[in-house]
Amino acid sequence: MTFFLRVLAGIALAAPAAAVAQSQEAPALEAPSFEPEAGTVRSADASRVADWVTASGDNHGLPFAIIDKPNATMLLFDAKGEQLAQEPVLIGIALGDDATAGVGSKKLAEIGPAEKTTPAGRFLAKFGIPFRKERILWVDYATSVAIHTIPADAAKKERRRERMLSPTAEDNRVTFGCINVPRAFYGKLLRPQFAKKGGYVYVLPDSKPLEEVFPRLRVHELRTAAVR
């Protein structure tokens, strides 16, 4: 992902506001345009998944998002497979593609460092049970993984804003497993797309083969190759 994209996302995070919901980050003074920049570069794995989902209809007529963990990036698509945005994200601090059994029932203070992973896979995400008086976009309710903005009560020493806006992905691993996104992007695009019926979230793996995480991808590619 280009440095320009991270700076662009910073417009949505840079200006503080007088009052915000407890689970929200300060709003921006002006909302940026979320049209994907001409020439935006996707990773090879993100492109494979996007092509497969769009060509096969794996999203079942719903909007979808791809979380590219290795590059700390989210790609958002509408129901027809048109890319709407590419934004930096914060993800689980620990490398890993599987959630620890029972982690969803633990208190935050009980979750060990190695358990703070953002699990890979295909998830049907929907807004659900309120969290701190706000409905939240649950990716995997069983493991307490959700997509939301940077919490207002996040420890200052974590420097989540700075990490999200940095030009590299190396410092974007800081959460307990949830996926943090820019506030304006969340309100202007992500929430409206997923608000009615939800949508699918495809979380790319850190180390597992892509075909192991998404078996249908391999089937689709084999069928496509066979008819060429």
For position 40, what pLDDT does the model report?
57
For position 110, what pLDDT does the model report?
77
pTM equals 0.80
Does 203 have pLDDT greater than 80?
yes
Q: What is the mean pLDDT of residues 134-159?
A: 92
Does 18 have pLDDT greater than 70?
no
Question: Which residues touch 129 (CB under 8 Å, ≥6 apart)?
Answer: 135, 136, 138, 141
Residues facing residue 31 across a β-bridge: none
Does 73 have pLDDT greater than 90?
yes
Where is pLDDT greater, at 49 or 15?
A: 49
Q: What is the mean pLDDT of residues 179-208?
A: 97
